Amino acid sequence: MSFTGLIVEKPGSLSLIQDFGRFGLAHLGITQGGPVDDYAYSWANHLLENPVNCSTIEITLGNTSFKALEDCHLAICGGDLNASINGEPISNWSDFSLRKGQTLKFGMPRNGLRSYLAVKGGFEVEKHLGSTSTVVRESLGGIARNGDALKAGDIIGFKPHPVPTRKSRQMTFRFKPDYNLPITLRVIEGYQHNDFSPESVSEFYSGHFEISPNSNRMGYRLEGQMITPPYEGILSEGIALGSIQIPNDGNPIILLNDHQTIGGYPKFGCVARIDLPRLAQAKPGQSVSFVQGDRQGLQDVWCQWAQFFGY
């Protein structure tokens, strides 16, 4: 373990260490965790030429600051949280250098909710059950291996490395999502889909939904159109990432990375993997609608993405 790193001055409302996630333990009830916007997470590591599983910091809602104990090479991607160094704004979706003693600050979100901060070589965090990902509810991961979010005074280590002399590297404009736009999610129908009435199915696709304030890394709740489930409950079964649960109150819940591993609500299907980052960056009140997706086509795109980033 190195003794150099970033010191947390202000942790903000939720700053979490995240690597790619915790896999192979779902049969014990242990969820995957990991970045809810895996696209932004992957770009942040990619800009630094890091291997894909490097630990990053997922910063939600901003109001966060870190001071460098040593010169370092960093990247930020994802939600635009008005990042600045000693008061000078820095570009989102880019890499940059932070000098010893300088403060990197995140303000209020301007676009999206969550920013991913990566360092060259990855933050040095000891793994907990095979991963550094922080899952608060399960008391797993993070720097103290107990599921705690970052606190003021925490030091997140990195290996000393040279900072680049070249100009900052920016992602091209066409790859940058605008997280504030209304969201259309592609749905892969499955699970109990065939048991929903034709009326419920058509209401689901024609309905307008809004993100509920009661949304988090476990799941995003939607309000607006109520969908009648075909029955109250089922024998619990395994939950896939992006599953669309329809509980008795008719308000859909889309399950994200910290979801419980099994559940007993009827499910309409799954949101496409490549659409989940847009959902995970959405703010309460933002509007959402659904369209039918083509599994094979979405699988091809997901595989290209996975191969590009080297998953």
Contact residues for other proteins (CB under 8 A)?
23-30, 32, 128-129, 137-140, 145, 188, 190-191, 235-242, 260-263, 269-270, 272-273, 295-296, 298-299, 302-303, 306-307, 311
CA distances from 126 to 103, 136, 141 (A): 25, 16, 8
Of the pair 32, 115, the CB lying nearest other proteins is at 32
Nearer to other proteins, 172 or 296 (CB): 296
- For residue 83, give every residue at least 6 positions away whose Cβ sits within 8 Å of its Cβ, in sequence order, or none: 76, 89, 90, 92, 104, 105, 106, 107, 115
Three-state secondary-structure class, residue 43: helix
Q: Nearest approach, Cβ of 279 to other proteins (angstroms)?
A: 14
CA–CA dist 185, 289 (Å, integer) = 6
What does the angle CA 283 – CA 134 – CA 106 come to, to the nearest 5 degrees? 50
Least distance to other proteins from the beta carbon of 138, Å?
5
Coil, strand or helix at 140: strand
- Shortest distance in whole angstroms from residue 276 CB to other proteins: 11
To other proteins, the closest distance from the beta carbon of 258 in angstroms equals 12
Minimum distance, C-beta of residue 278 to other proteins, in the bound complex (Å): 16
Neighbours of 223 (CB within 10 A): 18
Nearer to other proteins, 16 or 68 (CB): 16
Rounded to 10 deg, the angle between the 295-309 and 38-47 helix axes is: 30
- What secondary structure, in 3-state letters, does 250-308 show? CCCEEECCCCCCEECCCEEEEECHHHHHHHHCCCCCCEEEEEECCHHHHHHHHHHHHHH
Name the minimum Å distance from CB 151 to other proteins.
20
Contact 281, 78 (CB under 8 A): yes
